[in-house]
Amino acid sequence: MRPAIRRWLPVFCLCGPALLCGPLASCLAQGQAKRNDSANKLILGFRMQNWNAQHMHDPTKAQEHVDLLRKLGCEVKTSQHNGHIDVESRTVFWKSMALESPAQLEQWRSWLQQSGFETLYGHSATEQASPPAAGAVLEVVKYRLPEWRAQHIHQPQEVGQLTTLYRALGCELENRQHDGHTDLRIRCPQWMQIELPTHEAAHLWQAFLQQAGFETSHTH
């Protein structure tokens, strides 16, 4: 585990079920009230739907990796064979962390992507995007939703996932429960953008945003 990652682990806020948090973290169940200062945080979403294996030869580093993955709320399993350790992990639901600075965000995003996670970070379209890695493709989807729009949701798990997603996209949210369902109200008055690794991923996110009522544009 990188020293900086280990240093920051106790102070970020994770959103998702069954998470272990450090002493200064505020652990939130999906869909519940956010921290008062969350507006000042940088929200990074992440998930890994399919099992991903990493081969490790150092038992200490393997255990550190397992501990970190579990703190991130991942399912983890390990096995030993042919002189190395296989660490397998996944998290099928979107989760998020609230970070203090762009430096923290970039370090975590880099680590998550190198570990096989999808990441999601919505930021102002006027803010310069991080340069892609050498040889990587950068697809940009821009979006905005100037007026409040409500989604009527009956499943708590869906409320949690959409809450996590829209926070990672940088949207304003209001959550109201009545008559056996939840009204999730969303607004994103300024143009925001996300960077995606493939053309296919960009089209999928653009379709999701358009279905939710956003204006969108896609460049590459």
Residues 65 and 128 in one domain: no
Number of domains in the chain: 2
* Nearest Cα to Cα of residue 89 among 63, 52, 46, 116: 52
The residue from 62, 89, 117 where one domain ends is: 117
- pLDDT the model gives residue 25: 33
> How do residues 134-167 score in pLDDT, each as one tens digit?
556 689 999 999 999 999 999 989 999 999 999 9
Query: Per-residue pLDDT for 65 more than 70?
Result: yes
Which one is predicted more confidently, 10 or 184? Answer: 184
- pLDDT the model gives residue 17: 35
Which one is predicted more confidently, 51 or 30? Answer: 51
Residues 107 and 45 in one domain: yes
> Do β-strands 123-124 and 118-120 pair in parallel, antiparallel, or remain unpaired?
unpaired
State the average pLDDT for the chain: 83
- pLDDT the model gives residue 137: 67
Q: How confident is the model at residue 82 (pLDDT cuts 50, 70, 90)?
A: confident
Residues 17 and 72 in one domain: yes
Q: How confident is the model at residue 51 (pLDDT cuts 50, 70, 90)?
A: very high
* Nearest Cα to Cα of residue 42 among 8, 75, 74, 68: 8
Q: How confident is the model at residue 39 (pLDDT cuts 50, 70, 90)?
A: low
Domain that holds residue 143: 122-220
Residues 85 and 163 in one domain: no
Q: What is the 3-state secondary structure (H, E, C) of the chain?
A: CCHHHHHHHHHCEEECCCCCCCCCCCCECCCCCCCCCHHHCEEEEEEEEEEEEEEECCHHHHHHHHHHHHHCCCEEEEEEECCEEEEEEEEEEEEEEEECCHHHHHHHHHHHHHCCCEEECCEECCCCCCCCCCCCCCEEEEEEEEEEEEEEECCHHHHHHHHHHHHHCCCEEEEEEECCEEEEEEEEEEEEEEEECCHHHHHHHHHHHHHCCCEEEEEC
Enter the pTM of the model. Answer: 0.79
| CA 180 centroid distance within chain | 28
Range of weakest confidence among 1-15, 104-118, 186-200: 1-15
Is residue 57 classed exposed, middle or buried when 0-12, 13-18 and 19+ CB atoms within 10 A define those classes? exposed
- pLDDT the model gives residue 131: 65
- pLDDT the model gives residue 24: 26
- pLDDT the model gives residue 128: 74
What mean pLDDT do residues 5-30 have?
39
Return the half-sphere exposure (C-beta side, CA atoms, 13 A cut-off) of residue 219: 6
Residues 93 and 8 in one domain: yes
Cα angle 113, 101, 146; round to 5? 85
Residues 8 and 85 in one domain: yes
Residues 46 and 113 in one domain: yes
Residues 27 and 130 in one domain: no
Residues 20 and 89 in one domain: yes
Which one is predicted more confidently, 101 or 3? Answer: 101
Cα angle 90, 45, 28; round to 5? 90
- pLDDT the model gives residue 40: 77
* Lookup: tokens for 137: 């493709």
Contact 16, 96 (CB under 8 A): yes
The residue from 82, 117, 152 where one domain ends is: 117
Residues 166 and 207 in one domain: yes
Which one is predicted more confidently, 15 or 147? Answer: 147
Residues 126 and 96 in one domain: no
Which one is predicted more confidently, 37 or 185? Answer: 185
Separation between Cα atoms, residue 1 and residue 14, nearest integer Å: 18
